[in-house]
Structure 1
Amino acid sequence: MITAHYAHRLPADYDIALIRERAKKRGAIWDAVPDLFFKAFLLRERGRFGAIASSYSSLYLWRHDEAFRDFLVSGRYKVVTDGFGRAEIQTGFALDARKGSGQVARFAYKDERRIALDADLTATFAAEIERSGKEAEKAGAVAAIIAIDAKNWTLTRLVLSEHEPDGEQRGEAYEILHLARPLLETLPRAADQ
């Protein structure tokens, strides 16, 4: 599985209603994409949940690398570049992804952690997989994913949740404007670890 996330910072005076409308219109296009566990249309709005600037972004969990490749070469990303320009796409290999008991994902949480140079990688990965599974078991969790960027040795913890930020979550909080979930239900359940 591969995670992909890209963001576009918006001008301070950008009409956020346009982003909400774009997600509403484009969301259904993704509801039946093969080999896609989910695509989250995300918003960070300046002044809300710790955001100092507004941004619009997309977060994906692809079944395999060919699906991500097809997304890039089929022209699906061109719609993004035509509207917002080319963004850096942060990718990672999912070490684990679990479906929680939550049903309606309203927020996404992204927490990045660098792996210390002298860390035992096997132990680190095992601990992160276990931690991610426990995140998926929490009330309101729709899904939890742990991914690795092996170029920069960075772990990305992702949680899709029914719950609004309450200060307990770490990392960046995003409002989910639309969650396309073609294969989300096929992820192993949190209790299946």
Structure 2
Amino acid sequence: MITAYYAHRLPADYDVALIRERARQRGPLWDGVPELCFKGFLLRERGRFGAVASNYSSLYLWRQDEAFRDFLVSGRYKIVTDSFGRAEIQPGFALDARRGSGRLARFAYKEERSIAMDADLTAAFAAEIEHNRATAEQPGSVAAVVSVDAQNWTFTRILLSENEPDRESAGVAYQILHLARPLLDTLPRAGDR
């Protein structure tokens, strides 16, 4: 599986109601995309949930790398570039992806962790997979994913949750404006081995 994330920083005076409307209109177009586990239309709104600036982001979990390739070459990404310009897409190889018992994902949390130069990679991968499985079991968890960027040697932890950010929340919090989830329910359940 492949994760992909990109963000567009919005001007300080940008009307985020336009982003909410875009997600409302475009979100359902992704609800049946083949080989897509989920796509989150995400918003960080200045002054809300700790955000100092506004940005509009997309977060994907693709079941196969060919599906991610098809997204790029079919013109689906052109719709984004026509509106916001070309963003740097951050891809990752999913090490583990689980669905939790939560039903309505309202927030996404993204946390990046560097892998130390001298780390035992096998042990580091195992620890992240175990951490992800525990995260998926938390109350309110809709899905949890951990991926690795093997070029920059970082882990990215993703949590889709019913729960609003609080002091215990790890990572950067995003409001989920729409969650397309064609294959989310095919992911292993939290607690499955």
Q: Distance in 2 between matches of 1:48 and 1:154?
A: 27
SS in 1 for 2:49: coil
Gaps of at least 5 residues in structure 1 are: none
TM-score, normalised by the number of residues in structure 2 = 0.99
SS in 2 for 1:98: strand
- Once the two structures are overlaid, the 10-residue window that deviates more, 84-93 or 165-174, is 165-174
Count of paired positions: 193
Aligned residue for 1:13? 13
Offset at residue 173 of structure 1 (A)? 0.2
Q: Distance in 2 between matches of 1:39 and 1:154?
A: 22
Identity percentage of aligned residues:
75
Q: Deviations over 1:105-155 (max 9, x none)?
A: 000000000000000000000010000000000000000000000000000
Offset at residue 48 of structure 1 (A)? 1.2
**Structure 1 segments of 4 or more deviating over 3 A?**
none
| Equivalent AA in structure 2 for residue 29 of structure 1 | L
Offset at residue 27 of structure 1 (A)? 0.3
Offset at residue 49 of structure 1 (A)? 1.4
RMSD over aligned CA atoms reads 0.4
SS in 2 for 1:192: coil
Q: Deviations over 1:132-188 (max 9, x none)?
A: 000000000000000000000000000000000011111100000000000000000
Q: Distance in 2 between matches of 1:39 and 1:147?
A: 15
Q: Distance in 1 between matches of 2:79 and 2:176?
A: 20
Offset at residue 31 of structure 1 (A)? 0.1
Q: Distance in 1 between matches of 2:169 and 2:30?
A: 28
Does residue 143 (structure 1) correspond to residue 161 (structure 2)? The answer is no
Offset at residue 64 of structure 1 (A)? 0.9
Aligned residue for 1:171? 171
Aligned residue for 2:96? 96
Offset at residue 74 of structure 1 (A)? 0.2
Q: Distance in 2 between matches of 1:54 and 1:90?
A: 19
TM-score, normalised by the number of residues in structure 1 = 0.99
Gaps of at least 5 residues in structure 2 are: none
Q: Distance in 1 between matches of 2:171 and 2:146?
A: 14
